[in-house]
Amino acid sequence: MTDPDRLPAFLDTLDAELRARGEWGRVADYIPELAGVDPAQFAISVVRADGSVTGAGQCDTRFSIQSISKIFALACVLNRIGDSLWSRVGREPSGDRFDSILLLEQEQGRPRNPFINAGALVTTDELLAGRPPREALSEIIGFVRAAAEEDDIHIDKAVAASEAATGYRNAALVNYLKSFDNLRNAPERVLGTYVHQCAIEMTTRQLALAGRCIAGLPGAPMLMTEAKRRRIAALMMTCGHYDGSGDFAFRTGLPGKSGVGGGILIAVPGRASVAIWSPGLNAWGNSQAGTEAAERLARFTGWSVFG
Ligand SMILES: NC(=O)CC[C@H](N)C(=O)O
C-alpha cells in the first residue's frame, strides 16, 4: 500500500464521491422488509493487520447481512463435520442466479457450491444436525460474536418473518433437495433456520471485525484451522458473488462475499478485513456502490491476492 496514513482520507473521499454520484441501484424487494430500505446509504470499515479500524459513512448502522451469513454457517459446519460436507455440495461456480433451481435437476440435487441458496440450504441442514433450530442458530450467532469479539449482534426477527412468508423460491429449492434425498431435516425446519441465519444484522465495523478470522489477521480469534480459512477464502473468490463472481474477481483481485442486504465482506489475506454496505443492488444482486467502492479500494491500496 502507498502510505497507510492516507487510508482514512481516501475512505472519506470515496464516501463523498459515491454519495455525490448517487448511482445506487435497486434494493432487494422480494423480501418485503428489505424493500423499504433507503438505497442512498453507504458505509465502509477496514480492519488492518495492526488491528487498526478505519471507516467512512454509516459504519454504525446495522444492516441485514443475508448471504454473508453463508460464510459463517460454512465455517461452523466445516468445523463440525469436516470434508464430508463435500459429498453433498460442490465447489464450482454456478454461473447462475443465487436462487436458481436450474442446475439442481441436471446434477441430481447436489448444489454447485455452498454460497448459492441451494448449497447454503444443505449447509444449514448440516448445521441443524437434528437439533432444534434455536440451538443451531445459537451456534452461528455465537461464532459471529466470537469472531467479532462483540456480543451486541442479533437476528432481526421481522426480516426473518418477512422472508419466511414470501420465500417461495427457497421453499421450492429446499423441497427439491429433499426429493433428491439431499436433506436430512424437514424442509420447513431448514428453511426457517436459514431465513433466521440470513437475518443476522451487523454494522460494517462489526462485520469487518468478524472477517478478521477469514483474512487470517494477526490477533484474530482462532476459530478455524489455517487450511479451512484458505479454502473458505478460495470459495469466496470463485463463488462469493454468484454469476457476478468473475466480474468481482476481475475488478478487485480479492475474495469477497455479498448479500442482498447490500453488504460485501472482503478478505485481504494477512493484510485486512473489509466490510462495505450500500443496499442498492446491481443486476446480479450484489451491491452496486459497494462493488464500485471495493474496486476503488483495491486500486488505491494495491491489495490483490495476485501480487
Ligand atoms: N443473495 C442473498 O443474499 C440471498 C439471501 C436471501 N436470504 C435469499 O435466500 O434469497
Q: What is the ipTM of this complex?
A: 0.97
With vertex at residue 196, the alpha carbon angle to CA 190 and CA 201, rounded to the nearest 5 degrees, is 155
Which residues are CB-neighbours of 204 under 8 A, at least 6 positions away?
A: 43, 44, 45, 55, 57, 58, 59, 63, 263, 275, 276, 277
Nearest atom in ligand 1 to 259's CA: 3
Ligand 1 atom 9, closest CA: 117
170 is in an annotated binding site: yes
Ligand 1 contacts CB of residue 260 (under 6 A): yes
Q: List the one residue out of 64, 89, 94, 62 whose CA is nearest residue 74.
A: 89
Residues 17-50 pLDDT 10s: 999 999 999 999 999 999 999 999 999 999 999 9
Q: Which residues are catalytic?
A: 67, 70, 194, 242, 260
pTM of the model: 0.98
Please give the domain boundaries of the chain with CATH numbers for all domains: 4-64+202-301 (3.40.710.10), 67-200 (3.40.710.10)
Pocket test of ligand 1: the residue of 260, 277, 281, 284 to mutate, having most ligand atoms within 8 Å of its CB, is 260
Residues 157-185 pLDDT 10s: 999 999 999 999 999 999 999 999 999 99
Ligand 1 contacts CB of residue 115 (under 6 A): no
7 Cα–ligand 1 center, Å = 32
